[in-house]
Structure formats: C-alpha cells, structure tokens
Amino acid sequence: MNLHLEVYLKGEKVENAVPEFTYPDVHDKPVVAVIGAGPAGLFAALKLIELGLKPVIFERGKKVEERKNDIIKLEQNQVLNTDSN
C-alpha cells in the first residue's frame, strides 16, 4: 500500500489538493476487450485509455441488483451460485 499524507496545522491554503486527471478521447479508436470488471480489469481499461485505445469491459454474472439475493442465500444458507459472481 502506498500512502501519501500531508498535514497543515496553521490553516494554510491548500491548492491542488485533489489531482486532476486528463485522458484522451478514445471513442473512435481501436477497441480492445477487457474481460472482468474487477480491480485488474478496471486498471487494464484505464491503462488502455492512457495508451489511446478504447476498452470494452465484459463482465460475467447477474446485474448488481440481482446479485444481492444470491449474496443473502450465500450468507444465510451457504448456497453458492457460481454464475453470480
């Protein structure tokens, strides 16, 4: 884990406390498939954008709203639905 901490004790004015990010417009660039919307997939998509490519993320499983019921079944009854990650 990387941690960056700045402490201001005397009420100093903080400029640029939140970094600004700019990314290229990739809507008409070559498409690259990214499989999975977990941390690695999202990071890969971000890097592709930085490289000027258009990522399309494919995620397996049910919609988030529908997964809630599967999580409840897992927690209460130990029933795992392997198609609802």
Domain range annotation of the chain: 31-77
Q: Answer for the pair 58, 36: CB distance below 8 angstroms, yes or no.
A: yes
Residues 6 or more apart from 84 whose CB is under 8 A from it? 61, 62, 66, 67, 70
pLDDT for residue 12 is more than 90:
no
Q: What confidence score (pLDDT) does residue 76 get?
A: 94
Higher pLDDT, 71 or 15: 71
pLDDT in tens, 23-71: 999 999 999 999 998 899 999 999 999 999 999 999 887 888 888 888 8
Cα angle for residues 37, 43, 48 (degrees, 5° grid): 105
Q: What confidence score (pLDDT) does residue 47 get?
A: 98
Indicate the pTM of the whole model: 0.62
